[in-house]
């Protein structure tokens, strides 16, 4: 069953065009959310809910007009369209658009398998028990998230496209305490799919990994400060590329010249060792989509090849404003946001080296086993990241664990200093917040070596 009658969508689009818009789009969304917080060894917060709404976008030249409502009432939708259309201040031709359903290649999505709620609870209980096997663990919090998003897109090009996207994620957090020493470890695997993804998780290994991380950093001294070479391990280490470069390649920044890379297409912006992609088509990956939120089939986009900037991440309005072709990257958190060019599954492609080769090339430096979050100012390229789990490197060997490390620099500078890229590529789920809200994205990389970066820590 369609969320919005197509004749109502047709009326909105006809009305928008008659107001002078060059392009009209109707985005309809119904998302059912479920979550459970398992904390203090029990289910503490189980909730669910449904969001539903309609977003209407009129584009006139480079001007974007956007409105949304929870109502499916035709008159209310036309009223919002009129409100937006009045901003154009011109009248256009009244034309009726006939919709043609978009056929697109569906990315292989894990099945949306469902299991009994009590089974989910016992699954979480077992992880909690595993993590509490260490007496120094003072708290375990497991945040289980499941949602099913159904979207419909109609536009004045005659497009009708729909997609159902199931998401599942389990965020683990463990706190360890011994006297005045405290440490924290977290891990948040997620996928586009259902419970069968949870069945692929090796919960015993996850517990061991988290306990090891928390134990190693429990008594760790503060990280020394200064410029040094850093080896960043795979998986969530990819957040550094996401923040330091990925956001700077979105046309949302490029169109305002608010990216240091806005005029660098075809130029060497990174070390020749580095190639990177933004790929929406990976089976089951947390940031994958069959179509974007503008109804365009998603794709694999080669961003950087051997250090040369090949492509920007572009949406419809980005194409209008910059001329860079759309890449199936128009994304939004919900109907409450107009779409914008956003990353999907973004990662550095694998290189030739073993991790040991990267480490052995460093005399004195830092091994960032696991990165935390970070932020970037796209206009200047300045970024900073926290490191969750870090060790000093001495004479090519991993030695003392340290805590409180941050990495700071600028995107253009660090991209040129990634001199070695390892083989073992790993992807990790994350949530990216930007102009069109918080969306599921994947970051990833093999281990990389940065020749020099400023490490924040104890002076």
Partner 1 sequence: MKKIMEKVLNSVADQKADGDLIFSGSKSLKMSSQKGSISTYNVSSSQMLGIRVIKEGRVGISYTEAMDDESLKLLVKQALQNAEMNEPNEHETILDLKGQLTDEAIYPEPPVDISIKTARALSLEEGVKTLDPRVVAVPYNSYAESEYSSQYLSSRGRGTSYQDKSYSITSSALMDDKGKKSSYYDFHIAHTFEALQWNKVIETSLLHARNLLDEKSLPTGKYNVRFSEDSLKSLLECFSNFYSAKSAMDKLNPWASSLGELVMSKDLTIIDEPAHPGAFRATRFDAEGVEATSLTLVENGTLKAFIHNSMTASFYKTKTTGHAYRSPSTSLQVSGTHFVVKGKNKKPMPSKYLEVIQMDGLYSGANRVTGDFSVGVKGYVWEHGQKVMTFGGITLSGNLIEILKNVEVVGENLMASTDQSFFAVPLLFHGLSVAGTG
User: For residues 400-419, which are near partner 1 according to CB under 8 A?
Assistant: 403-406, 408-410
Q: Which residues contact 279 (CB under 8 A, 6 or more apart)?
A: 285, 299, 300, 301, 344, 345, 346, 347
Question: How many CA atoms within 13 Å lie on the side-chain side of 135?
Answer: 2
Dist. CA 133–CA 440, nearest whole Å: 32
Residues 169 to 208: which contact partner 1 by CB under 8 A? 175, 182-184
Residues 93 to 112: which contact partner 1 by CB under 8 A? none
- Are β-strands 437-445 and 426-434 bridged in parallel, bridged antiparallel, or unpaired? antiparallel
- Quick check: 386 binds partner 1 (CB under 8 A)? yes
Residue from the set 7, 48, 133, 399 that interacts with partner 1 by CB under 8 A: 48
Residue from the set 20, 188, 284, 373 that interacts with partner 1 by CB under 8 A: 373
- Residue 353 or 383 having the CB closest to partner 1: 383
Residues 140 to 169: which contact partner 1 by CB under 8 A? 141
Neighbouring CB atoms inside 10 A of 12's CB total 24
Q: Least distance in Å: CB of 323 to partner 1?
A: 15
Segment contacting partner 1 (CB under 8 A): 35-43, 194-202, 275-283, 300-308?
35-43
Instruction: Work out whether the CA dihedral 399, 400, 404, 409 comes out positive or negative.
Output: negative
Residue from the set 2, 5, 49, 283 that interacts with partner 1 by CB under 8 A: 49
Q: Least distance in Å: CB of 11 to partner 1?
A: 18
Segment contacting partner 1 (CB under 8 A): 38-46, 196-204, 344-352, 391-399?
38-46
- Quick check: 384 binds partner 1 (CB under 8 A)? yes
Please report the beta strands in 156-293, taking only residues with DSSP state E, as ranges in sequence order.
159-178, 181-187, 190-192, 226-232, 276-279
Residues 289 to 308: which contact partner 1 by CB under 8 A? none
Question: How many CA atoms within 13 Å lie on the side-chain side of 228?
Answer: 24
- Nearest 5°: CA angle at 205, between 203 and 448? 120
Contact 420, 273 (CB under 8 A): yes
Dist. CA 67–CA 378, nearest whole Å: 27
- Quick check: 126 binds partner 1 (CB under 8 A)? no
Instruction: Work out whether the CA dihedral 345, 310, 246, 68 comes out positive or negative.
Output: negative
Residue from the set 44, 73, 164, 364 that interacts with partner 1 by CB under 8 A: 44
- Quick check: 65 binds partner 1 (CB under 8 A)? yes
Q: Least distance in Å: CB of 247 to partner 1?
A: 12
Residue from the set 113, 212, 336, 416 that interacts with partner 1 by CB under 8 A: 336
Structure tokens at 408: 């700071």
- Residue 45 or 356 having the CB closest to partner 1: 45
Dist. CA 248–CA 412, nearest whole Å: 10
Dist. CA 412–CA 260, nearest whole Å: 8
Distances (CA, A) of 240 to 259, 338, 374: 16, 27, 8
Segment contacting partner 1 (CB under 8 A): 273-281, 323-331, 354-362, 381-389?
381-389
Q: How far is CA 406 from the centre of its chain?
A: 21
- Quick check: 46 binds partner 1 (CB under 8 A)? yes
Give SS3 for 403. strand
Q: Which helix (H) or strand (E) holds 104?
A: none
Q: Least distance in Å: CB of 13 to partner 1?
A: 18
Give SS3 for 414. helix
Q: Least distance in Å: CB of 138 to partner 1?
A: 5
Residues 222 to 241: which contact partner 1 by CB under 8 A? 222, 225-227
- Quick check: 210 binds partner 1 (CB under 8 A)? no
Residues 263 to 292: which contact partner 1 by CB under 8 A? none
Segment contacting partner 1 (CB under 8 A): 104-112, 149-157, 437-445, 449-457?
449-457
- Residue 183 or 314 having the CB closest to partner 1: 183
- Quick check: 260 binds partner 1 (CB under 8 A)? yes
- Residue 56 or 303 having the CB closest to partner 1: 56
Dist. CA 319–CA 329, nearest whole Å: 11
């Amino acid at each position: 069953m369609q969320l919005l009658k197509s004749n109502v969508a047709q009326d909105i689009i006809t009305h928008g065009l008659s107001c002078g818009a060059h392009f009209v789009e109707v985005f309809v969304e119904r998302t059912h959310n479920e979550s459970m917080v398992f904390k203090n060894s029990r289910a503490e917060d189980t909730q669910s809910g449904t969001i539903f709404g309609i977003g209407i976008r009129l584009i006139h030249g480079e001007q974007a007009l956007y409105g949304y409502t929870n109502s499916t009432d035709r008159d209310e939708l036309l009223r919002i369209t009129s409100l937006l259309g009045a901003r154009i201040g011109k009248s256009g031709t009244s034309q009726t658009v006939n919709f043609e359903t978009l056929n697109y290649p569906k990315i292989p999505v894990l099945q949306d398998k469902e299991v009994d709620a009590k089974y989910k609870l016992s699954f979480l209980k077992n992880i909690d028990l595993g993590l509490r096997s260490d007496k120094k663990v003072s708290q375990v919090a497991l945040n289980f998230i499941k949602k099913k998003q159904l979207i419909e897109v109609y536009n004045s090009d005659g497009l009708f496209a729909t997609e159902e996207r199931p998401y599942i994620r389990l965020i683990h957090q463990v706190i360890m305490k011994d006297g005045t020493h405290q440490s924290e470890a977290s891990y948040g695997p997620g996928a586009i799919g259902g419970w069968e993804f949870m069945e692929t998780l090796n919960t015993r290994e996850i517990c061991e990994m988290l306990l090891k991380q928390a134990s190693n950093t429990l008594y760790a001294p503060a990280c020394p400060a200064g410029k040094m070479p850093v080896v960043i391990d795979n998986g969530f280490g990819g957040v550094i590329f996401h923040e330091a470069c990925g956001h700077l390649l979105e046309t949302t920044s490029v169109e305002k010249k608010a990216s240091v890379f806005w005029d660098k297409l075809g130029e060497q912006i990174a070390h020749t060792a580095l190639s990177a992609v933004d790929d929406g088509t990976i089976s089951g990956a947390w940031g994958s989509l069959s179509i974007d939120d503008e109804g365009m089939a998603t794709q694999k986009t080669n961003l950087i090849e051997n250090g040369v900037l090949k492509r920007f991440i572009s949406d419809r309005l980005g194409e209008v404003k910059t001329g860079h072709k759309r890449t199936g990257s128009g994304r939004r958190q919900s109907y409450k946001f107009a779409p914008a060019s956003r990353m999907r599954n973004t990662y550095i492609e694998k290189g030739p080296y073993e991790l040991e080769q990267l480490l052995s090339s460093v005399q004195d430096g830092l091994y960032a086993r696991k990165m935390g979050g970070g932020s970037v100012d796209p206009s200047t390229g300045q970024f900073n990241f926290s490191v969750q789990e870090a060790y000093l490197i001495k004479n090519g060997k991993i030695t003392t664990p340290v805590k409180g490390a941050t990495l700071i620099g600028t995107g253009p500078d660090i991209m040129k200093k990634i001199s070695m890229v390892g083989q073992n590529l790993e992807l990790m789920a994350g949530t990216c917040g930007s102009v069109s809200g918080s969306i599921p994205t994947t970051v990833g990389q093999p281990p990389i070596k940065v020749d020099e970066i400023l490490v924040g820590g104890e002076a």
